Amino acid sequence: MDGNTPANIAGVFAFPNDEGGRKIRFVDSSFQQLFMLPDRANIILTDFGGARSVLPCQYIDDYHARIGNETFHILQFAELQEKRGAIYVPEHPNPVDICDSYELYQIRDMACTDYAFRSYEEAKGQFHPSHYQRVYAAVLGPGVLLNDLFEKHNRDDRPFGDRIHSMSVSDVVVIQRVGKRNAYYVDRFDFKEVKQFLRPRRQSKKRP
């Protein structure tokens, strides 16, 4: 391999830049590229509870990077954050960076609703965002479809498999791509967009 050829090892790329430095390729758990981070730049890591951390990243070699206070194989890092329900993006994104994500919502108390696990046609008269709670979040790789997420969250090794049920009819998936959010109800055989899920809740006016 000559000095102008990027190293590509199991989905990890390190590219020399014009100053002779290195860049680390961040990927999702399926090895799809999300963004390239210059050596010693930062990422923003948001855990499932919403706590945000600024983590410095240092190029180690073609296999590893130091992220925060730990050294990771870059794919190990992606898999770990998927298991934790965490989202990571560059501190200073470039236009070409993929900073997309998704969230999974499930009915909060199935004993208090009549449409759990029912089709949207059956649910639409009662459907309301207040019935739901956010149960998972993760980065979203390029070209990942709703059906791909359905398959992921129905595997035996699905994320949060010990905490929530598999993705099912009546769940809601919120997709954020390029800053735009869309919500989809998991229907019997497809997904129904539910724009009302993202509408701000109206606050009741106080009487003088």
Report the alpha-carbon distance of residue 145 to residue 175 in Å, rounded.
Answer: 10
Per-residue pLDDT, 12: 38
Among 142, 39, 31, 48, CA closest to 88 = 48
Domain-wise residue ranges, the chain: 7-90, 101-198
* pLDDT on residue 144: 97
Strand partners, 107: 132
Residue whose token pair is 């979040």: 137
Q: What is the pLDDT of residue 202?
A: 54
Collapsing DSSP states into helix, strand and coil, what is residue 109? Answer: coil
| Dist CA 169 CA 192 (whole Å) | 11
pLDDT of residue 200: 76
CB 197 within 8 A of CB 183: yes
DSSP 8-state code for residue 155: S
How many other C-beta atoms can be found within 10 angstroms of the C-beta atom of residue 162?
6
Residue 192 and residue 44: Cα distance in Å, rounded? 32
pTM: 0.86
Helices (H) and strands (E) in the chain, counts: 3, 14
The per-residue pLDDT for 3 is 38
Q: Which DSSP symbol is given to 207?
A: P
Q: Encode pLDDT of 52-79 as tens digits.
A: 999 999 999 877 999 999 999 999 999 9
Residue ranges for the chain with pLDDT beneath 50? 1-19, 203-208
pLDDT at residue number 21: 65
> What's phi and psi for 63, nearest 5 deg?
-105, -25
Joined together, the tokens standing for residue 82 give 């998927």
Rounded Cα distance between 118 and 187, Å, is 8
Best CA proximity match to 90, nearest among 47, 55, 128: 55
- Contact (Cβ atoms closer than 8 angstroms) between residue 194 and residue 183: yes
